[in-house]
Amino acid sequence: MMGGGERNEPQRPQLTVTDVVKETTSLFNLAFPMVITDLIRYSRSIISMLFLGHVGDSELAAGPLAIAYANITGYSVLSGLALGMEPLCSQAFGAGRPKLLSVTLHRCVLFLLLCSLLPISSLWFNISNILTYVVQDPKITSMAHTYLMFSLPDLFTNSLIHPIRIYLRAQGITHPVTLASFAGTCLHLPMNFLLVTKLQLGVAGVAAASAASNFLTLVVVVVYIWARGLHVPTWTAPSRECLTGWGPLLRLAGPSCVSVCLEWWWYEIMFFLCGRLMDPKATVASMGVLIQTTSFIYVFPSSLGFAVSTRVGNELGANRPNLAKLSAKVAVALAFFMALSAAAFAFGVRGVWGRMFTNDEKIVRLTSLALPIVGLCELGNCPQTVACGVLRGSARPSTAANVNLGAFYLVGMPVAVGLGLWIGVGFNGLWIGLLSAQICCAGLLLCVVGTTDWDSQAKRAQALSCAGCEVIPLPPPGSDSEGEEVQPYIIIPVPPNI
């Protein structure tokens, strides 16, 4: 039998093919339900786009424009801030400290609700004044404003559903969100048919149907968790404790939000740049179709990125840096396979994809010409997304934020603006700018992951998961082949350099 102080050290270099297969299986078991969840959610987005397209071309342009504004000012912010709790929860679960999960969940929900009620909702109310300077079409601007007003309830829903998903995912629980998303999608189609087709509410009906479907998803996931008792092992009732001790969460939430927003905003800024090109109605509508395409492709590397984030966080929290390193390597290898598959898909559907959304020949032609460039972008996007997941799991969001800033705004944006607006390449020039940003970002992030000192990251994880939390034994997911028990680490809670 091995003693507690030397239980892992002699075995670290002796990883075998069996270990690789087991890690691949662990990643697949985490990622597959998330792929199903995101595909279900994506089908909901496709339904919305199809209803917008059949109402009219102006609605097809206004809907994506409103969604772009909502993403820039709301959804990306909430999603990014929520990711600050991911390393706290995954590392705490791996370290056997369940109380930190529920306390972090309470803090994050309060934080997101405050952000939704104050700055974000104010920006949505003032969309007309802002978009007037971007899109010189008052009809499209008015429709976009209407869409956002009926989407306001989504801010409340997202403020709860994002933290709940992360809270569950840190424990390796993913199926409740999948089932709830399916329930919400079952409501989405009949709601759109009622509000858009029967009641003729246009963009307002599409927005209201989406908000109602998301709210049903939230209700179902909460009821399911409570009914099945999935919360019991890690749950503590909300108390005054969640009003204090926000330091670690805020230090991680800030860079996480910046990292997500810098990339997400770049995509949405392309919508606004389309408004400055010739025939803005066609280019904005085509951009909406292509963003839907990238959203579909993104489902797969995104799910893998979240899976590896959980695995890396759990293993670092359990002080198993060798297994955290193995998880990162396996995930990156899978990401390259996904990248090739995504590029092949984009090339293969370039002749038919646009006609799924509209019969307008201008929109179809623009979409067909840009899809091969979109496919090339995925050669960088898939590895980059998975590498970001590795950095999240090891509580290094500031590194990802710095890389995204340099790649997207110091490399990609000048290329996009130069080719698209100044040189006159037009619509495809914007996508070539994205291609340069994705390749640069992927290269830098893979270098960071490849040079990581995993022993040092494991020590940081112990400090982070110990800070202000009592030690409660809890077996982590993905325990090693010998079923060794995780030892509680008593470390002085010095705040890590995040």
Give tens-digit pLDDT for 155-205.
Answer: 999 999 999 999 999 999 999 999 999 999 999 999 999 998 888 888 899
The pLDDT of residue 487 is above 60: no
Give CA–CA dist 199/245, Å, rounded: 49
Residues 222, 230 contacting (CB under 8 angstroms): no
Give CA–CA dist 219/226, Å, rounded: 11
The pLDDT of residue 227 is above 90: yes
Give CA–CA dist 404/444, Å, rounded: 9
Q: What percent of the chain has pLDDT over 90?
A: 53
Q: Which of 399, 402, 412 is nearest to 439 (CA)?
A: 412
Q: So what's the pLDDT on residue 422?
A: 87
The pLDDT of residue 420 is above 50: yes
The pLDDT of residue 102 is above 50: yes
- DSSP annotation of 477: S
Q: So what's the pLDDT on residue 472?
A: 39
The pLDDT of residue 334 is above 60: yes
Q: So what's the pLDDT on residue 73?
A: 87
Owner of token pair 């600050």:
84
Residues contacting 231, CB < 8 A, separation 6+: 102, 225
> Domain locations in the chain?
24-466
- DSSP annotation of 498: -
Give CA–CA dist 70/156, Å, rounded: 14
The pTM of the full predicted model, rounded to 2 decimals, is: 0.83
Q: How many CA atoms lie within 13 A of 418 on its CB side?
A: 11
The pLDDT of residue 292 is above 80: no
Which pLDDT band holds residue 8 (cuts at 50, 70, 90)?
Answer: very low
The average confidence (pLDDT) of the chain is: 84
Q: So what's the pLDDT on residue 136?
A: 54
